């Protein structure tokens, strides 16, 4: 196998997706505006995903609760993948499809932001969370790969990365998460 050629292709795919983001700064700013508006209205951001996306949810929550670049007041953000007692109880008593939906039922209020991450857009627990969020009046923002999957129709904003390659999608998502956290801080505290 030509490992150098393979690695070159992976890096070029990453560059292509990052260059595509240059055309989408208005979309990124709109997401930051929605989140900043949620905070101005005393709302919160609830974030969910599985596997690497669960880690991303925790990363985003950490940036919002702690700080990104500015010393400022904490912002209410919760990664729904962090409480193992809740996750395992819900998975056992209901089904793992409902591990986020039940938490949305418990925590969400009209006007809160529900931020779901699924590279396929079809993660059943994230889909159920968005269905529940729609019932409770959350503003649903999904981060997906190409096509958006089932989440697309359940989202107020579906930020699709034009790829089906999970690692490349996640790499592009991470840059956008950071840009959003940066803009939210600037809009609220800058």
Tens-digit pLDDT profile for residues 143-155: 999 999 999 999 9
The answer to whether the pTM exceeds 0.85 is yes
Structural contact between residues 108 and 114, judged by C-beta atoms closer than 8 angstroms: yes
* Angle in degrees, 0-180, between the axes of helices 166-189 and 52-65, rounded to the nearest 10: 10
Joined together, the tokens standing for residue 153 give: 């129709």
Is 14 within 8 Å of 46 (Cβ atoms)?
Answer: no
Reading across the β-sheet that carries 139-144, which strands appear in turn? 77-79, 45-49, 113-117, 139-144, 157-160
Q: Walk me through the domains of the chain, giving residue ranges and CATH numbers.
A: 3-189 (3.40.50.10490)
Q: How far is CA 83 from CA 5, 9, 56, 138, in A?
A: 42, 38, 15, 21
- 165 pLDDT band, cuts 50/70/90, is very high
pLDDT at 1 over 90: no
Asked if the model's pLDDT at residue 46 lies above 90, the reply is yes
Find the mean pLDDT for residues 83-108. 97
Q: Shortest CA distance to 18 belongs to which of 145, 146, 171?
A: 171
Give 169-181 pLDDT, tens digit per residue.
999 999 999 999 9
Provide mean pLDDT across the span 13-41. Answer: 98
């Amino acid at each position: 196998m030509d490992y150098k050629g393979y690695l070159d292709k992976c890096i070029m795919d990453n560059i292509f997706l990052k260059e595509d983001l240059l055309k989408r700064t208005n979309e990124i700013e709109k997401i930051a505006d929605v989140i900043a508006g949620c905070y101005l209205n005393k709302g919160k951001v609830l974030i969910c995903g599985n596997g690497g996306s669960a880690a991303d949810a925790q990363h985003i929550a950490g940036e919002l609760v702690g700080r990104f670049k500015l010393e400022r007041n904490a912002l209410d953000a919760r990664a729904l993948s962090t409480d193992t007692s809740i996750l395992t109880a819900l998975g056992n008593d209901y089904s793992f499809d409902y591990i986020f939906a039940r938490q949305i039922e418990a925590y969400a209020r009209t006007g809160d932001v529900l931020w779901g991450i699924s590279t396929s857009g079809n993660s059943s627990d994230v889909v159920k969370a968005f269905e529940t969020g729609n019932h409770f009046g959350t503003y649903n923002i999904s981060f997906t790969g190409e096509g958006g999957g089932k989440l697309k129709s359940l989202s107020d904003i579906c930020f699709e990365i034009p790829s089906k390659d999970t690692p490349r999608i996640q790499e592009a998502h991470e840059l956008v998460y950071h840009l959003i956290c940066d803009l939210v801080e600037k809009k609220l505290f800058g």
